[in-house]
């Protein structure tokens, strides 16, 4: 027995601690969800010149809508307090507020209409916020090239003025179908000489354009390579055949072909020795008397 104090069992204390912890976690989760909801936004891409309709969430609105306020990046765009609607800046001519459902319509969109739009209905802020991004369509690109002095590598560039076109990505054809922010493609003879032509494509969230194909500056036709190789082979084979023929003639005739006085179409060209030309007198059947080599010795 303990006097002057009450005794609490350990199991009761553990249950109370678990309940308090769960309550705190639930409270923190509710605060986190509220923060995420408060800062959440919907992103919408719209093309220049088109129309945008901003629709707030009015599902939680009770009773009649008595006031509507729209802001762009914190600046009032349209305000209604039950009578006439007041518009500001560019919205005076291109803005229209529906006081029944609180929708704000903007016509003839320009780049300056981009921004974060927030709304208040009956003096209560409505979520999510709406981020409007007005962009231009991507242009039709063209491809330029720059090669080194040895023509072993080149850099291709996908050109096009994308000012105001928002996030623009590029890919090459032929390629790996990957969209990247880089607009350059480096090619080399050891990997791209078999590709006949290249083209590029530009894309943003609303549009996509392709360039006309350009010839590959490093392209080598397979047929051309084959013709060169065949020509060299035929030349070598013909040279070997001529050398063999010259060797055979040297062995058979006993001298090189260029030492022969006869032509290849003469019968003597392949003979061992050429027949010496016959004397003209012999060919007539006459002979000259032979001189005596020894003279008679006079008698003493």
Query: Using an 8 Å Cβ cutoff, are 202 and 168 in contact?
Result: yes
Of 94, 99, 63, which Cα lies nearest the Cα of 81? 99
Residue 121's pLDDT is what?
93
Taking the C-alpha atoms of residue 299 and residue 297, their distance in angstroms, rounded to an integer, is 7
Distances (CA, A) of 253 to 71, 240, 260, 263: 110, 20, 9, 13
User: Per-residue pLDDT tens for 215-238?
Assistant: 999 888 775 554 555 667 778 888
- Kindly report the pTM of this predicted structure: 0.58
Query: Using an 8 Å Cβ cutoff, are 119 and 132 in contact?
Result: no
Which of the pair, 12 or 190, is modelled with greater confidence? 190
Taking the C-alpha atoms of residue 26 and residue 156, their distance in angstroms, rounded to an integer, is 57
**Cα maximum dimension of the chain:** 195
Query: Using an 8 Å Cβ cutoff, are 130 and 116 in contact?
Result: yes
Residue 263's pLDDT is what?
64
Q: What is the mean pLDDT of residues 96-108?
A: 95
Which of the pair, 271 or 94, is modelled with greater confidence? 94
Query: Using an 8 Å Cβ cutoff, are 218 and 193 in contact?
Result: yes
Q: Of 14-28, 105-119, 134-148, where does mean pLDDT reach its minimum?
A: 14-28
Asked if the model's pLDDT at residue 90 lies above 60, the reply is: yes
Taking the C-alpha atoms of residue 167 and residue 162, their distance in angstroms, rounded to an integer, is 9
User: Per-residue pLDDT tens for 129-173?
Assistant: 999 999 999 999 999 999 999 889 999 999 999 999 989 999 999
Cis-peptide into 128, omega within 30 deg:
yes
Taking the C-alpha atoms of residue 169 and residue 179, their distance in angstroms, rounded to an integer, is 6
User: Per-residue pLDDT tens for 57-71?
Assistant: 888 788 889 999 999
DSSP code string of 204-267? -SS-EEEPPPEE-TT---HHHHHHHHHHHHHHHHHHHHHHHHHHHHHHHHSS-GGG-SS-TTSG
Please give the mean pLDDT across all residues of the chain. 78
Query: Using an 8 Å Cβ cutoff, are 124 and 90 in contact?
Result: no
* pLDDT classification of 103: cutoffs 50, 70, 90: very high
CB count in 10 Å sphere of residue 126: 19
Q: What is the mean pLDDT of residues 90-103?
A: 94
Q: Can you say whether the dihedral through the CA atoms of 194, 196, 200, 201 is positive or negative? A: negative
Buried b (16+ CB within 10 A) or exposed e, 17-51: eeeeeeeeeeeeeeeeeeeeeeeeeeeeebbbeee
Which of the pair, 295 or 266, is modelled with greater confidence? 266
Quick one: what percent of the chain has pLDDT higher than 70? Answer: 66
Residue 26's pLDDT is what?
45
């Amino acid at each position: 027995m303990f006097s002057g104090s009450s005794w609490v069992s350990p199991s009761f204390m553990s249950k109370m601690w678990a309940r308090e912890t769960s309550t705190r976690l639930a409270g923190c989760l509710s605060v986190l969800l509220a923060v995420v909801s408060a800062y959440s936004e919907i992103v919408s891409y719209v093309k220049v010149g088109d129309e945008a309709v901003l629709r707030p969430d009015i599902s939680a609105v009770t009773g009649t809508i008595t006031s509507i306020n729209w802001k762009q990046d914190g600046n009032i765009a349209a305000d209604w307090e039950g009578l006439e609607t007041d518009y500001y800046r560019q919205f005076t001519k291109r803005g229209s507020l529906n006081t029944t459902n609180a929708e704000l319509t903007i016509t003839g969109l320009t780049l300056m209409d981009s921004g974060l739009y927030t709304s208040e209905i009956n003096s209560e802020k409505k979520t999510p916020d709406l981020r409007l991004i007005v962009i231009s369509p991507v242009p039709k690109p063209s491809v330029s090239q720059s090669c080194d002095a040895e023509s072993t590598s080149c850099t291709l560039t996908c050109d096009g003025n994308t000012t105001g076109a928002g996030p623009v990505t590029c890919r090459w054809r032929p390629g790996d179908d990957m969209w990247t922010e880089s607009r350059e493609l480096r090619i080399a003879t050891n990997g791209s000489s078999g590709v006949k032509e290249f083209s590029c494509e530009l894309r943003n969230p609303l549009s996509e354009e392709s360039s006309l194909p350009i010839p590959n500056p490093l392209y080598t036709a397979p047929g051309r390579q084959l013709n060169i190789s065949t020509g060299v082979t035929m030349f070598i084979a013909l040279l070997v055949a001529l050398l063999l023929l010259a060797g055979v003639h040297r062995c058979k005739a006993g001298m090189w072909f260029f030492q022969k006085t006869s032509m290849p179409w003469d019968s003597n060209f392949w003979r061992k020795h050429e027949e010496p030309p016959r004397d003209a007198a012999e060919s007539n059947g006459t002979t000259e008397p032979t001189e005596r080599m020894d003279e008679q010795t006079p008698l003493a």
